[in-house]
Amino acid sequence: MAPLGLARAVLTTSAAVAAASSQGFTTGAVGADNEGGATNTNHAYAQIDPNSGGDTHTNTTDVSIVTWFRGLPGDMNGGDYGMLWQFVRGDMGSSGTRTIEIFIDRTGSNKKFNAFFIGAGGARTTTKDYTDNSTLDAALLDGEWHCIMLRMSTTGANCEMYLDGADQSISHPSDTSGNIDLDDTDGEWNMSAFSGAFPGAGAAWDIGPTWIYDTAVDFTSSTVRGYYFDSGNTDGYVDGGDDGTAGGAVKPDLYLYNEGSGVENGGNLTATIRDITNGSGSVTDNDNTNGPGSGDTRTSANP
């Protein structure tokens, strides 16, 4: 749902940038074998249902996401896909419709960071290509905290991807018709999850504060990027407070953060948040000791 009074305009705002502080984060579990489906043994992830309060996202031509992320190649536990975020309509098995997927792909000749979405005219993927796994790992999977900004648009030229405030010179998809369908009574966001329709995509990433908008955010503006990332701060982290606006950003549909006791939402939509666990897998809620803004670098893979 677009913030009141802003309709479908590209979002910008002006406010004093918040002082940097550190924030907690969420870690999923991929289990011993990530080649199974959604109920894979010991797989665990956080799930956010934005439809539970009688309010939903709006079907839209543009979706914008900012997420803080930390990972190592070993977090994929032998696999070569690693899902950060996923919006699935229907069940998480093979019958679900994957409307949005944000993932790292190290399979075969693919060395990519991808933002995949489906419009009425078909699937489209915004892609950042890397020459090899070493280059990809140095950019994304170095155990340090990174800020990813994405705009997914049915007008391909409007798609944007920024990493730690820097334009990623992405491969733009072609245009597609219709909307990106987020207005669905059984659609849910899944953090570090994978569905039976896309096996092998699980990863035990660390996921920090995340802003999700069902409208366009103008990340081409350095001022706007500064609401989420400031290179002068530790890790570049800008604290969004408890509703995502403390750094100057417009309040999002969902603002997802963790202070060590579970994922919370400070966005405009009411959401039910649950941990999905299988076998001995569990979701780990971490306080701000090693979170974004702390300067911590992780050197060991998550289980």
* pLDDT value for 66: 98
CB count within 10 Å of CB 242 equals 13
The full DSSP string for 199-227 is: TT-----EEEEEEEESS-B-TTSHHHHTT
109 part of a folded domain: yes
Check residue 246 and give left, alpha or beta (phi > 0: left; psi -120 to 50: alpha): alpha
279 part of a folded domain: yes
86 and 193 in contact (C-beta within 8 Å)? yes
The full DSSP string for 99-166 is: EEEEEEE-STT--EEEEEEEETTEEEEEEEE-SSHHHHHHHH-SSS-EEEEEEEESSGGG-EEEETTE
Residues of the domain holding 140 = 28-286
CA distance 53 to 270: 5
Q: Report phi then psi at 111, rounded to 5.
A: -135, 85
44 part of a folded domain: yes
291 part of a folded domain: no
Q: How many domains does the chain have?
A: 1
13 part of a folded domain: no
CATH number for the domain spanning 255: value is: 2.60.120.200
301 part of a folded domain: no
186 part of a folded domain: yes
List the pLDDT tens digit at each of the 303 positions of the chain: 333 232 333 444 434 444 447 899 999 887 654 444 445 567 788 999 987 666 788 878 999 999 999 999 988 866 677 889 988 876 665 556 778 989 898 877 889 999 988 877 788 989 999 999 999 999 999 999 999 999 999 999 999 999 999 999 888 899 998 888 887 677 889 888 765 555 456 788 999 999 999 999 999 999 999 999 999 999 999 999 999 999 999 999 999 999 999 999 999 999 999 998 877 788 999 999 999 999 999 999 987
103 part of a folded domain: yes
